[in-house]
Structure 1
Amino acid sequence: MTRICLIGAGPSGMSMLYNLAKMKEQGKHIPDVVCYEKQSDCGGLWNFDWRTGVDEHGEPIHGSMYHHLWSNNPKECLELPDYTFDRHFGKAIPSFLPREVILDYLSGRWKTVNATKFVRLNTIVKNVVYNSDKDNFTVWARDQVEDKDLPLEQFSHIVVATGHFSVPNTPYFKGVETFPGRVLHSHDFRDAREFKGKQLLVIGSSYSAEDILLQCVKFGAKSIVCSSRSGPMGFKWPAQIQERPLLEKIEGQTVFFKDGTSTEVDAIIYCTGYKHTFSFLPDNLRLQTENRFYPPNLYKGIVWIKTGNNKLMYIGMQNQFYSMTMFDVQSFWACRVILGEKTLPEKDTMEADITRWTQKLERVTSIAQAMDFQTKYVMDLCRDSGYQYNLDVKDILNDWDQKKRESIITYRDNVFKSKFTGTVSCKPPKPFMAAFEDSLDSFCKLNLH
């Protein structure tokens, strides 16, 4: 009997449930599906939790969301073709949106098919075992509200959609343990107002570093030094931000860099990325990878080919330029496989396909090439699954990247055109660096009247 265990009710997991529900509307027989979600609501990364460290149940905090976060790429890059922003909001809105607005949009799509009815909230998966003799999986989950283990359940398929921005990667620098100021990872960053008037060191050159630098300047940080291993990000930063080589050591409040320079800081923020961590999976089922555009041992970036008889799948585990639309076509492809509408090839064919994509990735040396690589991956899934929409937004991504290079301060003030409706977004009522209100209510008052 086909029975699906879906782990995680963020954008990836909810896309899986949405696609299953839409297939049922088309008259297809849909197997039983149970979605376990450790948080108290659906939405994954897009939920905000004021806590850091552990949650109310003593479990590690999942989300890395902070106050005043706005999307760092235009909504036209993540717009879902069968549920557009025009449909949800009823009119043109700006291209760059605050967190609550994006979550409201995603929730609107899920509500059209009542996808949340499959979700068991506040329930954490503790262990998954593949039973080779029965060709199925045993799942041990725990109800966090009742504080009790649930009866063991059997499933034919496991779909892991827990994301990979929850377990911080925190490298050690000599002297950090004696630094007298605040030291935190971006996972625990909650509000840039904490650092008003402060001198900061930000370590890293990822999207989180880029955004936290701007957030802290926006809300009044005195000065920021950004230190990274990979070199300058190449943006035209405001005067408060300087870039330096990698941090070498810390003595008191003084931080020293590999070029021999030093400065005093009040706080240190690590923006050094995350680890793919799946503590509920044994080694033979666990994806072990860095943040890559094509993770190893996943056919089509989805099916785990090592063990589990191709019945363990991962959704949304790639490094990302595409996000919501990639999750959606991955989920659609996975649903078709599970429903028996697509047959997987032999293992050697799948391994050869993984090798082909991996070799392509090895030739990627620039952001433009990385965007092209992921566009080709997404479009390959569209063709292979029969997904009815063209998700290619490479032209929008290239335009967005160019505007960032022109001005990191003003790129969120630009407008873009929807691929699916042709609607050109409206100009935001305030420039991003002057927009201090980010709630759904304030956004609607400014944009929907």
Structure 2
Amino acid sequence: MDTVGIIGCGAAGLCAARQVLATGKYKPQVWELSEGLGGTWRYNPDTGRDKYGIPIHSSMYQNLKTNLPKEVMSFPEFPFPTGGDSFLHHTKIVQYLKDYAEHFNLFQYIQFEHYVENVEPIPQEEGFPHWAVTVKDLKEGTTIITVCQAVIVCNGHYSVPRIPKLPFIEDFQGRQMHSHDYRDSSPFKGANVLVLGSGASGLDISLEISTVANKVMLSHNLPSPNQSKLPPNVTQVKGADSAYPKGFHLVDGTSVEADFILYCTGYEYSFPFLSEKCGIEVTKNQVSPLYKHLINAAMPSMGFLGIPFQICPFPFFDFQSRFFMKVMTGELDLPSLPEMLEEIEKDHQESLKKGVPEKHFHNMSIRQWQYTRDMAEMAGLETTMPVIEKLFTAVREIRNKTLMTYKSTTYIITGPETFECVH
């Protein structure tokens, strides 16, 4: 059988391998740079670089629990065990992924401690290009080139920190850290901490370090403050505008003193293994040219799973995998390259007209449901069960109002469109 190369063995890489196998026409070859599966869910207490000198991939911290209930997180073919908590510790997610890999007999296709160094297209007289994938066996120090009929990029986008360059930050006398290197609250004991960014990690980590810090200032430029009750030593302030030795000037003209800044400012899309010949560019936090945020429009035998963010991840990865393999098996004909490029540009312009910042082009949020419905109609696929959308949306609203307590709720799905919450 022809080979589909898969880069990364997190949730996206595993379900890609499963759906490659499910075609009966292809076999997967998965390369993973770490010692085990899990990707971003795989906890590593170390920071910086690993024993091979490669930057540590995982941003997982010791006490993280999911901010979505397991009832909406499972792959469609493989539900989480029923009962117990809905919001799970990261170790249980990794165990679930191991169980998934064992259930679908995927381990035989995975090479751990293998680092993808280069991916280059091999043009064909007819049809899509093939791919030469250069991979280094980190344990042996050897390198091999594998020719694949398709490549699916599943290296995630929570490993290369985005750190804004605040004016005069070099004058700041306190400590600095990005959430990528956050593992536990101990470094923040007794500190006055400015947490820059109020996304999921900023909020979650602020609550955690508030138990040991003197003061936590959640700094952001959202139109309105988070409406949830917060610990008494957590306040919300405007975004940082510049630094001075003892703290930060804010965009509203006020200043705050701090002896620690924690950047919860997100991550960069990074594909250092793709040669220029692949034609992929990352500009203003946009990966292009991706048809449906998924397929390299110029070379459709290359797919990228999980580029969108603020999604219901595992079902989304599964759906994208199925769609991509429909293309590879010839069951789905794509539009012409000019038509795909035109649609990408149209999507971009519509996003701008709605006031969405360019850096949020891949932010799916509520758009993810229509996205999958449209693509399901194209490819003859089943959409996500309506209850998943309903529960995902409900939890998001509850989380915004009860940030400190929402993870104590347990949910059960009672039908294709219904769920109940129990305590």
Distance apart, 1:365 and its partner CA: 5.9
Return the letter of the residue paired with 1:380. D
Please say if 1:2 is aligned against 2:21.
Answer: no
Return the TM-score normalized by structure 1: 0.84
Distance apart, 1:332 and its partner CA: 1.1
Q: How far apart, CA to CA, are the structure 2 residues paired with 1:405 and 1:13?
A: 31
Map 1:298-317; keep pairs closer than 5 Å. Answer: 298-306=290-298, 308=299, 310-317=300-307
Distance apart, 1:84 and its partner CA: 1.4
Please say if 1:128 is aligned against 2:119.
Answer: yes
Q: Secondary structure of 1:190's match?
A: coil
Out of 189, 192, 198, the position equivalent to 1:199 is 192
Distance apart, 1:50 and its partner CA: 1.2
Please say if 1:174 is aligned against 2:164.
Answer: no
Map 1:32-431; keep pairs closer than 5 Å. Answer: 32-85=27-80, 89=81, 91-132=82-123, 135-148=129-142, 150-217=143-210, 219-236=211-228, 237-285=230-278, 286-290=280-284, 296-306=288-298, 308=299, 310-362=300-352, 364=354, 371-388=365-382, 390-392=384-386, 393-418=388-413, 424=420, 426-427=422-423
Return the letter of the residue paired with 2:139. V
Return the letter of the residue paired with 2:141. D
Q: How far apart, CA to CA, are the structure 2 residues paired with 1:383 and 1:14?
A: 25
Q: How far apart, CA to CA, are the structure 1 residues paired with 2:151 and 2:265?
A: 30
Which deviations, in whole Å up to 9, do the C-alpha atoms of 1:266-302 show, x marking residues without a partner?
211011111111011123422415556xx54212221
Q: How far apart, CA to CA, are the structure 2 residues paired with 1:14 and 1:216?
A: 33
Distance apart, 1:326 and its partner CA: 0.3
Q: Which residue of 1 aligns with 2:19?
A: 19
Distance apart, 1:324 and its partner CA: 0.5
Whether the 8 Å contact between 2:308 and 2:364 is mirrored in structure 1 is no
Q: Which residue of 2 aligns with 1:447?
A: none
Distance apart, 1:253 and its partner CA: 2.6
Distance apart, 1:305 and its partner CA: 1.1
Residue 32 to residue 82, structure 1, CA distance change in 2 (3 Å): closer
Distance apart, 1:126 and its partner CA: 0.7
Whether the 8 Å contact between 1:94 and 1:425 is mirrored in structure 2 is no
Give the structure with the larger strand fraction: 2
Return the letter of the residue paired with 1:321. I
Q: Which moved more, 1:228-237 or 1:238-247?
A: 228-237
Return the letter of the residue paired with 1:128. V
Q: Secondary structure of 1:235's match?
A: coil
Distance apart, 1:123 and its partner CA: 0.5
Whether the 8 Å contact between 1:22 and 1:113 is mirrored in structure 2 is no
Corresponding pairs, count: 411
Residue 349 to residue 167, structure 1, CA distance change in 2 (3 Å): same
Which deviations, in whole Å up to 9, do the C-alpha atoms of 1:115-166 show, x marking residues without a partner?
1211111011111111336632222111111223x22222221111111111
Q: How far apart, CA to CA, are the structure 2 residues paired with 1:19 and 1:425?
A: 32
Whether the 8 Å contact between 1:92 and 1:426 is mirrored in structure 2 is no
Aligned identity (percent) is: 27
Distance apart, 1:348 and its partner CA: 2.9
Q: How far apart, CA to CA, are the structure 1 residues paired with 2:120 and 2:320?
A: 24
Query: Unpaired segments of 5 or more residues in structure 2?
Result: none
Q: How far apart, CA to CA, are the structure 1 residues paired with 2:96 and 2:422?
A: 17
Whether the 8 Å contact between 1:43 and 1:103 is mirrored in structure 2 is yes
Whether the 8 Å contact between 1:364 and 1:370 is mirrored in structure 2 is no
Whether the 8 Å contact between 2:310 and 2:364 is mirrored in structure 1 is no
Whether the 8 Å contact between 1:276 and 1:287 is mirrored in structure 2 is no
Q: Secondary structure of 1:382's match?
A: helix
Distance apart, 1:55 and its partner CA: 1.1
Q: Secondary structure of 2:49's match?
A: coil
Q: Which moved more, 1:99-108 or 1:61-70?
A: 99-108
Q: How far apart, CA to CA, are the structure 2 residues paired with 1:263 and 1:43?
A: 39
Q: How far apart, CA to CA, are the structure 1 residues paired with 2:47 and 2:115?
A: 18
Return the letter of the residue paired with 2:4. I
Q: How far apart, CA to CA, are the structure 2 residues paired with 1:255 and 1:243?
A: 14
Return the letter of the residue paired with 1:390. T
Which deviations, in whole Å up to 9, do the C-alpha atoms of 1:320-344 show, x marking residues without a partner?
2221100001011112222222222
Q: How far apart, CA to CA, are the structure 1 residues paired with 2:378 and 2:97?
A: 25
Residue 281 to residue 397, structure 1, CA distance change in 2 (3 Å): same
Distance apart, 1:233 and its partner CA: 4.1
Distance apart, 1:6 and its partner CA: 1.0
Q: How far apart, CA to CA, are the structure 2 residues paired with 1:60 and 1:145?
A: 16
Distance apart, 1:370 and its partner CA: 5.4
Which deviations, in whole Å up to 9, do the C-alpha atoms of 1:23-72 show, x marking residues without a partner?
4xxxx3x3243111111111100001111111111001111111100111
Query: Unpaired segments of 5 or more residues in structure 1?
Result: 428-449
Whether the 8 Å contact between 2:160 and 2:269 is mirrored in structure 1 is yes
Return the letter of the residue paired with 1:317. I
Q: How far apart, CA to CA, are the structure 1 residues paired with 2:399 and 2:284?
A: 26
Whether the 8 Å contact between 2:19 and 2:325 is mirrored in structure 1 is yes
Whether the 8 Å contact between 2:21 and 2:27 is mirrored in structure 1 is no
Whether the 8 Å contact between 1:81 and 1:389 is mirrored in structure 2 is no
Residue 192 to residue 419, structure 1, CA distance change in 2 (3 Å): farther
Q: Which moved more, 1:356-365 or 1:107-116?
A: 356-365
